[in-house]
Amino acid sequence: MASIYIITGASRGIGFETALDLAGKGFNVLALARSREKLLSLEEQNPEKISILSLDITEKPSAQKVKDFLVRNDFTITGLVHNAGVLINKPFTELSDADWAKQIEVNMMAPVRLTRELLPLFEEHSHIVHIGSMGGFQGSDKFPGLAAYSVTKGTLSILTECLAVELQNEQVKVNCLCLGAVQTEMLNEAFPGLTAPVEPQEMGTYISDFLANGHKFYNGKVLPVALHNPT
């Protein structure tokens, strides 16, 4: 059986660049996202190492579809990056239940379901990385309009600490990277005109390296990855 890294939200931005970097280093990668067209663009850049699966991770059957793909192709998991996320920029008083539900489903429940379903396929000494946010990092500066996003990203920090304990016997390490602002499409959509200090390619390389090596030094850690104290 072959080993593989899984990246969610891999059709653009940080996830796209993380997948490319891992594949460029010779690792097998399974890229997950809704947009098949964008995933095909990613796959074309390294078809020998990158596999793709187009699905909506908020749909409950999606986790089983990923598992079925891995079993069918004789893959075991050496690493998983929960990168997919959604950001709705609205004042707290204007956030509807639907807004909260959407961010909870994408930012929290999708990682929970995917991890739970795939656990039997994880290798010993594998690594789960949650992509959090400085907005969800305790003690960081908070900004108007990001209550739901920050809260749901903050749940990944606690989930990280809990899973690090619960998965000790399986020898699966779990860490959370709380990112500062990165110049992604999601950031541009939520904050038009804002210039971030870090490009997606730079962050993708950092996450790729951390996924492959960070679990040798960290477990159950919530780590800020920011030049300042931004969201």
pLDDT band at 189 (very low <50, low <70, confident <90, very high): low
pLDDT of 185 > 80? The answer is: no
Integer Cα distance of 65 and 31 in angstroms: 13
Mean pLDDT of 84-101: 96
Contact 111, 199 (CB under 8 A): no
The pLDDT of residue 196 is above 90? no
Determine the 3-state secondary structure of 2 from DSSP: strand
- Measured distance CA(113)–CA(225) in Å, rounded: 26
The DSSP secondary-structure symbol of 121 reads G
pLDDT at 139: 85
Phi, psi at 40, each rounded to 5°: -65, -35
> Over the stretch 13-55, which tens digit does the pLDDT of each residue have?
999 999 999 999 999 999 999 999 999 999 999 999 999 999 9
Question: In the numeric block, which tokens belong to residue 8?
Answer: 């969610």
Q: How confident is the model at residue 230 (pLDDT cuts 50, 70, 90)?
A: very low
What pTM value is reported for the model?
A: 0.93
Cβ proximity of 1 and 74 under 8 Å: yes
Mean pLDDT within 204-225 = 97
Confidence tier at 231 by pLDDT (50, 70, 90): very low
Q: How confident is the model at residue 213 (pLDDT cuts 50, 70, 90)?
A: very high
pLDDT attached to residue 200: 86
Instruction: Domain 2-225: give its CATH code.
Output: 3.40.50.720
Other residues' Cβ atoms within 10 Å of the Cβ of residue 166: 12
Nearest Cα to 96, choosing from 144, 146, 133, 148?
148
Confidence check: pLDDT of 214 > 70: yes
pLDDT by residue (tens digit) across 117-170?
999 999 999 999 999 998 889 888 888 899 999 999 999 999 999 999 999 999
